[in-house]
Amino acid sequence: MSTIRLLPEALISQIAAGEVVERPASVVKELLENSLDAGATDIGVALAEGGIKQIRVVDNGAGIASDDLAMAFARHATSKIASLDDLEQVRSLGFRGEALASIASVARVKLASRAAGAARASAIGAEGGSIGTAEPAAQPEGTAVEVNDLYYNTPARRKFLKSETTEFGHCEEVFTRTVLSRPDVAFTLRHNGRVAARIAPGDPAKRVEAALGEEFARSMRPVAADGGVLKLSGFVGSPAYTRATRDAQYVYVNGRFVRDKLLAHALREAYRDVLHGERHPAYVLFLEIDPRGVDVNVHPAKIEIRFRDPRAVHQFVFHAVAKSLSASAAEAPAAIATPAVEGHSITPQFRQAGLGLAQPVAKYAAMFAERPPGAALAPAPAKDGAAGAPLGYALAQLHGIYLLAQNSEGLVLVDMHAAHERILYEKLKSALDSRAMNTQKLLIPATFHADRVDVATAEEHGSTLNLLGFDVAAISPFALAVRAVPAMLAEADASVLARALLRDIREYGASRVLTERRDELLGNIACHGAVRAHRALTIPEMNALLREMEETERSGQCNHGRPTWFQMSLADLDKLFMRGR
């Protein structure tokens, strides 16, 4: 007797279903895709028990002719493509013709539909892979799909399902992805009879706010890049808005939500200069590309893709996002018009701090009422002079932490340390890139105790240290002397800098310190080298800092993603004092 035999049709379907229908959320995804492909403008999703008990998706799309109802459940049956050529330029979300077949093989499904313009509707049932016959039914134009008792016939799979709450969470995530992808469509989500979300059609920014919340919406910056064959649009969260997880990163390619390593990498790189540490950025981005330039048929779940020219896509996305993030201090506030909030108009820089409005108002109101003793007053610069310098001219230093300046719009507040840190970082980067790190010999070398490993590291990696502008020599088996530092760091504590450097080299190795770890290391050095709070600066020193900020890219954010300065316009101040009311 032969040992190789064909599997029964029902088992084949169940095996295939495993790839498409992993959990209730995958059913929700496939049904939503079908509704969007049918041109629906209003889609309702209703779940019971996290979708395990029931998933119902109702749309007002084009519907299915009653003669076609049974065919919709057939495996590899689709109305969306007919040839290889179609597949290569597919624009619909579905095209494999296997979602309904897969779902029907592991659940009890009812499909009711009325095609646009048809006199009546029909319904059909399918259960465990056997398809019933179409019968007349009551149903407005559009389609309703009901999926009951998922995995009722495959108990092993059913066991893998998590709690109702977890499964609902996954369904909600699929819902959010879909909602973000189509601002023009109305969506409703119900769970166990309660409305969980009701989202009206709106513009893309409104939709992002509805789906991801007001805080993100306030921080985000628009992205709009047109590279001819490639287009990128959407929103990126400012570096001041970060999250502990990657949960708010949405990327779409031709309207399809994707998980793609290449795109994720391009975005990580774009944020690298403004975001350090363990935090993750948030973004909603839509890449449009000629369908021939991307293969969506990589996996049955259609969430993975392959680009024909990955390098071009990477570069395009990286530059578009980096550009939007690096709007320099001089441009940022003027470029973005901000709507009034609760009667006050506040600049984007203000909003990025994530502070409530009441807080800064109270804070700055108190500041002017008291005029603290630490504030040394300088003569106000000529008015026309302030117009030429976007960040204006220094007035005073506040409590050794903030610099106050006057520009043509009003008051500028600068976090001295954060701003200086950003400037040093950018300068260190370009000096290292052009191998032109100016060093300064220390008149009196800074010596410090070190362990044997540090001493050995300093000796072994002298050339790396030199490249970074440092000269560190062993003066005993337990002591090191810093004899030179980068000129721009001449005023910093040389031994603190050297220790930080040696720690990095020990931990990551000299070559990684100069490559993948480079920006982090330079950020670290810049932080140590930047003016400490409570250091008194003279007015010319402050003005020099302001001028350097204007020249430095990305000076609106410090290396840790915090904002470095705020603009308070005269109008803002007038409001504080209720002038002109």
What CA–CA distance (Å, rounded) separates 470 from 441? 9
User: For Mg ion, which is the closer residue by CB, 99 or 411?
Assistant: 99
**Is 333 one of the binding residues for Mg ion (CB under 5 A)?**
no
Q: Which of 24, 44, 50, 94 binds Mg ion (CB under 5 A)?
A: 94
**Is 143 one of the binding residues for ligand ADP (CB under 6 A)?**
yes
What CA–CA distance (Å, rounded) separates 147 from 104? 8
Q: Which of 13, 14, 26, 34 binds ligand ADP (CB under 6 A)?
A: 34
User: For ligand ADP, which is the closer residue by CB, 64 or 481?
Assistant: 64
Q: What are phi and psi of 341, to 5 degrees?
A: -120, 125
Structure tokens at 28: 């929700």
What CA–CA distance (Å, rounded) separates 236 from 239? 9
Per DSSP, helices labelled H in 437-557 are 452-460, 462-467, 494-508, 510-514, 518-529, 539-551
Which range of residues in 61-69, 206-214, 421-429, 548-556 is near ligand ADP by CB under 6 A? 61-69
Q: Which of 14, 24, 59, 394 binds ligand ADP (CB under 6 A)?
A: 59
**Count of residues that bind ligand ADP according to CB under 6 A:** 22
Angle at 420 between CA 418 and CA 423, to 5 degrees: 110
Angle at 143 between CA 137 and CA 148, to 5 degrees: 80
**Is 72 one of the binding residues for ligand ADP (CB under 6 A)?**
yes
User: For Mg ion, which is the closer residue by CB, 93 or 378?
Assistant: 93
**Is 63 one of the binding residues for ligand ADP (CB under 6 A)?**
yes
Which range of residues in 31-39, 82-90, 270-278, 356-364 is near ligand ADP by CB under 6 A? 31-39
**Is 316 one of the binding residues for ligand ADP (CB under 6 A)?**
no
User: For ligand ADP, which is the closer residue by CB, 114 or 499?
Assistant: 114
Q: What are phi and psi of 577, to 5 degrees?
A: -100, 10
Structure tokens at 60: 């007002």
What CA–CA distance (Å, rounded) separates 13 from 563? 55
What CA–CA distance (Å, rounded) separates 104 from 10? 10
What CA–CA distance (Å, rounded) separates 142 from 198? 19
Which range of residues in 78-86, 202-210, 366-374, 434-442 is near ligand ADP by CB under 6 A? 78-86
Are 260 and 364 a contacting pair, CB within 8 Å? no
**Is 38 one of the binding residues for ligand ADP (CB under 6 A)?**
yes
User: For Mg ion, which is the closer residue by CB, 305 or 413?
Assistant: 305
The option from ligand ADP, Mg ion, none interacting with 575 (CB < 5 to 8 A, set by class) reads none
What CA–CA distance (Å, rounded) separates 173 from 303? 14
Shortest Cβ 43–ligand ADP spacing (Å)? 9
User: Quick check: helix, strand or coil at residue 424?
Assistant: helix
Residues 27-46 that bind Mg ion (CB under 5 A): 34
Q: Which of 38, 69, 99, 220 binds Mg ion (CB under 5 A)?
A: 99
Residues 86-125 that bind ligand ADP (CB under 6 A): 94-101
**Is 255 one of the binding residues for ligand ADP (CB under 6 A)?**
no
Kindly write out the interface string for residues 51-90 of this chain, putting x where it contacts Mg ion by CB under 5 A and - elsewhere.
Answer: ----------------------------------------
Are 45 and 178 a contacting pair, CB within 8 Å? no
User: For ligand ADP, which is the closer residue by CB, 82 or 119?
Assistant: 82
Shortest Cβ 34–ligand ADP spacing (Å)? 3
Are 547 and 442 a contacting pair, CB within 8 Å? no
What CA–CA distance (Å, rounded) separates 262 from 275? 19
Place of tokens 């990657």: 246
Q: Which residue is nearest to Mg ion (CB)?
A: 94
Residues 395-414 that bind Mg ion (CB under 5 A): none
Angle at 383 between CA 380 and CA 386, to 5 degrees: 85
Residues of this chain that interact with Mg ion (CB under 5 A) are 34, 94, 99
Residues of this chain that interact with ligand ADP (CB under 6 A) are 30, 34-35, 38, 59, 61-64, 72, 78-80, 94-101, 143
